[in-house]
Amino acid sequence: MNVTLETEKDREFEEAFMQRYMLNLPDDMEFFRMPQFSVVDYILTRGDVVRYMLELKIRKETLAKVKSYGGLMLKHRKIVELNTLQDAAKTEIWIVFAFDNGKGEVLAAQPHKLLDLPLEDPPRRRNYRGLTTDEEPVCYLDWDRHLTQWRM
């Protein structure tokens, strides 16, 4: 079975978000998209120094709509991978949730602050794909404790 985990449209939404995000940063900051299947989506540099890395989670719905579903879900494996990379690279990493296809509100979390969250079985996807990744344990982020709102 050939399943697409990230579509070209997904990448377009991420690129548009990054263009929007960069408007608030100094002119000498640059961003670089990482190859497909990398642990993070983007690195941000100033000069030849990596300043931080971003893992983007673009959500189609508005923040209000996603909040109505309950907690914000994230795969535990992703938290562990990001934390491992952060430790190895000695570089700050942010998990960024951008709502309304990346045009709406933005919340962010740091992986090292999520390591102790309880693991839960994932809910059954509406569009179940039969992948082992669909069965991986997830963590639910608390809107007030784990997430920081970014002003953009």
How confident is the model over 66-114, as pLDDT tens digits?
A: 999 888 999 999 999 999 999 999 999 999 999 999 999 999 999 999 9
Structural domain contains residue 119: yes
pLDDT at 27: 95
Structural domain contains residue 133: yes
Structural domain contains residue 75: yes
The CATH number linked to 41 is: 3.40.1350.10
pLDDT at 129: 64
Q: Which two tokens stand for residue 11?
A: 């990448």
Report the number of distinct structural domains present in the chain. 1
Structural domain contains residue 93: yes
Structural domain contains residue 3: no
Cα–Cα nearest to 85, from 110, 107, 109: 110
Domain with 19, as residue range(s), is: 8-150
Cα–Cα nearest to 17, from 56, 50, 62, 64: 56
pLDDT at 94: 98
Weakest-pLDDT range from 17-21, 113-117, 135-139: 135-139
Structural domain contains residue 94: yes
pLDDT at 2: 53
pTM: 0.90
Q: Phi then psi for 117, rounded to 5 degrees?
A: -65, 145
Structural domain contains residue 124: yes
- In this structure, are residues 86 and 112 in contact, taking their beta carbons and an 8 Å threshold? yes
pLDDT at 143: 95
More confident residue, 113 or 1: 113
